[in-house]
Structure 1
């Protein structure tokens, strides 16, 4: 009987490979370029649209079609979704969700406003941002700041179910979207700056019942790691791979939260995500029993996990024994590209640490690791010799190390700063050019650790930071970069005055869109980065550009509303240069260019 069941499953998989190993509704909705049905554009996180009505020749003619005020200040990350004739718009805390009628220029169909305790606000690390709702099977999925996961009826806004994923009193919050896959909703957790223990969790899409939870660190059984079958760089990770790299019980408050983006490969049934920094930011307090650096797995890592069981197939740690807060949570983009003259099923990741990684997404083999900002100076590079015991490890420049045994030291001139050469703002991939379009931060820092004690629900950072533009270049704090992930090379770069904290969009019309912290929506040529269009929206843009087609006309939309880590000074009214984990001083000049807002701006051709 068991063999018959296995044979039936195999035949179904062969006949309908994508639908059998994914959510049919998500596949259907994301396959329609007229819609924008998932935050990342598709399961592969490409943020590419086939729509080509707006192209290099006519994009200069874009006009504002309509606008919508969200009624909320603070930073607006993420993007609207469009399903059929309805647009779904989210806000930062209190995480309001609107359903808007596209046939009536955004008339409100329904509004859902959760009742959250405002005490969650000071527990959120770097503004009260939220990266957007998800859609599947007639439901909208919201993961609130207070970690409540809610399923809403997409037509009425009524609650279908809700469940609590964490405890803000311990520092657990949420800023990330969710991944709807098969019959599950997969969610992460924020709070490494408060000493939480990171995890990803799967809930039943229909009922909200918890199906599995995989921790980032700790015992194999709780991490859902098979020590003999889970691999790293082609070798089994071995028993207690995480526990062996922590001193005593530090792993219980060790960080490794999962607050970034998720991608999914229907062919292998694997989903991919990254883990955040170890806690605390003071590396001396995390030293091994011998007082020396120790890897602290599996923080700062890429995980490939089975969507059904949560069991890890492979993992790769990018920044062992992190000394700079280079969270590894940025998006994993899945694309089939040539590497070394051979076609590869690739995973491309632009890490906070300033290195652009290309891996084989099936096996976890490391293919490329190169700097996507030339100013990166904390490392000389990653050892790529598979025969070396250092294979896959970045080589730290001693002068940039913040690990100083027995004394506090202000390490100056570290590039990139803690917010990375790129933070959560997602890149885009165009199959037209084979290039990845990357919004970046061109920022360096001074980093001074200090001793800190752990108290549940209180900041567990232990470092004072100052940030400033990377010296000796164009004087600005950002670039918008086109990247060849097969070769690990910059193809072209557009300098910006401030960090590009907006998610990119690539289109079939040969146009790439992004937003700036001053508030400009910009369109550039996919081939050379030449500026083709710009428009000043009401506030700085940290949202992600999206596109859709309605009534035969292509539209482009973006949320503006300054905030996030880069804009935390404006968003929270902070003025001390070292507040906001160092960002307030670095981005002080933003006050001369923009102010708080919360507006959706929709563009189309006349």
Structure 2
């Protein structure tokens, strides 16, 4: 089925619909001089209307100030700016610092959690934390030990604290929460430990549980209505998850939630993706393993599911589906529709109707992707919406103890959780990608609570017959499902992007460069090497009439786990150590915030 998509505009999910969401937070998000939510806005666009820094003057950027976090290992996420205060977070032990922007970044308060360091042992892919949230005068901190803490934004005083998981069975917390209305949404990590993934809605007032929705299991525990939850336009039916697992495997079936939430106030729906099924050995879990690898749309008040779409049924490659869902309004065949765009680990970019869950576009966003020939787009077909698997790269077909070689992308995906950005000025998505392939050998593994439940040995390397590097930064047209331009990088681009009204796009590299790119042409306009590799997300704010760009540097995460944890065996780090072995020739551990500005005083309005 082919659709004509034309004319695009940013979904205006702010301001006019404030009555339907947390009024205070919506008002803060609407102020372009602030960075009030980790995703930039509820639509996950990571777009700023600030334009003081633009394509003509970005070449003059200079470092305005820096701040050491005092913690090494991987620094993901970005600071928040609310009023005259910047809030900075760290990886484990998850310290929080409030900096006074009116007083040379003086530390107004610190919060230093006292966590059991044993939690580090069950954090699969570095001790990362994807950031803080703000609502109702509180800073919301997700701690590695699964404790969610609300801190007074002015004093750092603990207002409430709620533990949502159990590290003893492999449950951890690495994602940024999303406050919405009178609740705060939070997921759980631990797919490599056989946890049972879920999203929990906590009451913002006191941290008590409002509702909880599992990714797998009985309908009532998944908050699924068999007649009214839809899958590609049809009712989901009773026991849809239970029928797709053998025996009780769903109880340790993964489907963890550690990426990003988005929210449409008009529809009162939240969107997120679920992770890989457990174990990584597909022979031990026959069936589609629903609802791992799935985009979910839920009512934020009740948690009831509106629609699901599973991108990689019976995942054979660890292609978690947790990446961000970016919300835009676009015209299709002359009718404006509410769309959702998702760049999945599996190498396919999806455009969907976010109200109905209708699938509109599913195309490869890296030409190296070879595990599938594509998705069946015929709604009358029995395999509608399913990817066609290439037998040569099927780890399930090849079986246990057989090494399947040359699979593209690798398990860390064509894009992991490092978020893309969208500019309504160019109607273009800007996407950090991994240009990496792998060999994958499954083996039989027994489940023991709190122990790794992986069951596969991996090795990773650059995609063959290409530029030899391990990453690209691309511009994507979700209308046509095509790459507009692509910039090769030596290593995977593990940084979140930022697009601005100044007609520029920012991103960071694993070697440590902050780069500014012309939003139309992809021309590199500026770069600066920070003290450590960048896996953080670029943000911007305005203070004293002047625009600033901020980025956390501190190499780590899955791609940098060898450096972060001192690993040397090529197969360690779930296969990443060998693939990124040369990264140590370019950067070292660190933990620093670097803030950039233009020289001189801000121009008068």
Q: Tell me which interval the TM-score lies in, with the shorter structure as reference length.
A: over 0.9
The answer as to 2:527 corresponding to 1:534 is yes
The superposition leaves residues 35-57 of structure 1 with CA deviations (integer Å, 9 ceiling, x where unpaired) of 00000000000000000000000
Alpha-carbon shift at residue 350 of structure 1 (Å)? 0.2
Report matched runs for 1:174-213 at 5 Å: 174-213=173-212
> Which residue of the partner structure matches residue 451 of structure 1?
444
Secondary structure, counterpart of 2:107 in structure 1: strand
Alpha-carbon shift at residue 106 of structure 1 (Å)? 1.4
> Which residue of the partner structure matches residue 13 of structure 1?
none
> Which residue of the partner structure matches residue 228 of structure 1?
227
Cα distance in 1 between the residues matched to 2:428 and 2:120: 38
Alpha-carbon shift at residue 20 of structure 1 (Å)? 2.8
The superposition leaves residues 355-388 of structure 1 with CA deviations (integer Å, 9 ceiling, x where unpaired) of 0000000000000000000000000000001111
The answer as to 2:545 corresponding to 1:546 is no
Where in structure 1 are there 5+ consecutive unaligned residues?
1-15, 288-293
Report matched runs for 1:121-140 at 5 Å: 121-140=120-139
Cα distance in 1 between the residues matched to 2:45 and 2:400: 45
Report matched runs for 1:23-38 at 5 Å: 23-38=22-37
The answer as to 2:428 corresponding to 1:435 is yes
Secondary structure, counterpart of 1:103 in structure 2: coil
- Among 478, 497, 502, the alignment partner of 1:509 is 502
Secondary structure, counterpart of 1:581 in structure 2: helix
Report matched runs for 1:104-123 at 5 Å: 104-123=103-122
User: Does structure 1 conserve the Cα–Cα contact (< 8 Å) formed by 2:18 and 2:27?
Assistant: no
Report matched runs for 1:484-503 at 5 Å: 484-503=477-496
Report matched runs for 1:259-408 at 5 Å: 259-287=258-286, 294-339=287-332, 342-404=335-397, 407-408=400-401
The superposition leaves residues 403-424 of structure 1 with CA deviations (integer Å, 9 ceiling, x where unpaired) of 1476421000000000000000
Cα distance in 1 between the residues matched to 2:339 and 2:317: 27
Report matched runs for 1:558-577 at 5 Å: 558-577=551-570
User: Does structure 2 conserve the Cα–Cα contact (< 8 Å) formed by 1:340 and 1:486?
Assistant: no
User: Does structure 1 conserve the Cα–Cα contact (< 8 Å) formed by 2:399 and 2:442?
Assistant: no
Cα distance in 1 between the residues matched to 2:44 and 2:334: 24
The answer as to 2:18 corresponding to 1:19 is yes
Cα distance in 1 between the residues matched to 2:39 and 2:46: 5
Alpha-carbon shift at residue 26 of structure 1 (Å)? 1.4
> Which residue of the partner structure matches residue 103 of structure 1?
102
Alpha-carbon shift at residue 346 of structure 1 (Å)? 0.5
The answer as to 2:589 corresponding to 1:589 is no
Aligned residue pairs, count:
585
> Which residue of the partner structure matches residue 47 of structure 1?
46
Where in structure 2 are there 5+ consecutive unaligned residues?
1-14, 600-605
User: Does structure 2 conserve the Cα–Cα contact (< 8 Å) formed by 1:29 and 1:83?
Assistant: yes
> Which residue of the partner structure matches residue 81 of structure 2?
82
Cα distance in 1 between the residues matched to 2:330 and 2:56: 28
Structure 2 vs 1, CA of residues 248 and 549 (structure 1 numbering), >3 Å: closer, same or farther?
A: same
User: Does structure 1 conserve the Cα–Cα contact (< 8 Å) formed by 2:177 and 2:185?
Assistant: yes
Alpha-carbon shift at residue 497 of structure 1 (Å)? 0.4
Structure 2 vs 1, CA of residues 466 and 316 (structure 1 numbering), >3 Å: closer, same or farther?
A: same
Cα distance in 2 between the residues matched to 1:576 and 1:194: 21
> Which residue of the partner structure matches residue 253 of structure 2?
254
RMSD (CA atoms): 0.9
Cα distance in 1 between the residues matched to 2:204 and 2:189: 21
Secondary structure, counterpart of 1:399 in structure 2: helix
TM-score, length-normalised on structure 2?
0.96
> Which residue of the partner structure matches residue 171 of structure 1?
170
Cα distance in 1 between the residues matched to 2:205 and 2:247: 40
Query: Which stretches of structure 1, 4 residues or more, deviate above 2 A after TM superposition?
Result: 337-344, 404-407
Cα distance in 2 between the residues matched to 1:485 and 1:253: 35
Cα distance in 2 between the residues matched to 1:511 and 1:423: 23
Cα distance in 2 between the residues matched to 1:19 and 1:498: 41
Secondary structure, counterpart of 1:577 in structure 2: coil
User: Does structure 2 conserve the Cα–Cα contact (< 8 Å) formed by 1:74 and 1:128?
Assistant: yes
The superposition leaves residues 253-304 of structure 1 with CA deviations (integer Å, 9 ceiling, x where unpaired) of 00000011000000000000000000000001112xxxxxx11100000000
Secondary structure, counterpart of 1:26 in structure 2: helix
Cα distance in 2 between the residues matched to 1:183 and 1:532: 43
Cα distance in 2 between the residues matched to 1:48 and 1:569: 32
Cα distance in 2 between the residues matched to 1:494 and 1:328: 24
Secondary structure, counterpart of 2:77 in structure 1: coil
Cα distance in 2 between the residues matched to 1:228 and 1:407: 38
User: Does structure 1 conserve the Cα–Cα contact (< 8 Å) formed by 2:400 and 2:442?
Assistant: no
